[in-house]
Amino acid sequence: MYHYLKKHAFAVITSCLLLLVNSVLQVLAATKMAVLANYLIAGKIRPFVSMLVVIFLLWFLTFLISFLESYIQETVIQDILSNIRNDIVTSLIKLSQNEFK
């Protein structure tokens, strides 16, 4: 398995980094919710609306990164499975009929 992961190391690392960035953005959006609540309690409407827009943008960015991460993961999974199948078929083709039985 390590052999196949090594072939697609860049995509796997990219996917992991996107997962990390996505998690950081989600935590950031959650912490901004506390600030949003403070603005609402204080009755500061203008900062409340601007913070609400920032939170929506963070969640939208999280959605985009999540989509890209899923796309990369599925592409890598398909490539690795194709490589495994090709290796199995190649080794089976090399066998003679007597060895195959």
Q: 42: how many CB neighbours lie within 10 A of its CB?
A: 10
Q: Which of 31, 26, 13 is nearest to 76 (CA)?
A: 13
pLDDT (0 to 100) of residue 27: 96
Give the C-alpha separation, 3 to 12, whole Å. Answer: 13
Are 72 and 15 in contact by the 8 Å Cβ rule? The answer is: yes
Q: Strand, helix or coil at 26?
A: helix
**What is the value of pTM for the model shown?**
0.78
Written as tens digits, the pLDDT of the chain (101 aa) is 788 888 999 999 999 999 999 999 999 999 999 999 999 999 999 999 999 999 999 999 999 999 999 999 999 999 999 999 999 999 888 888 887 66
pLDDT (0 to 100) of residue 100: 65
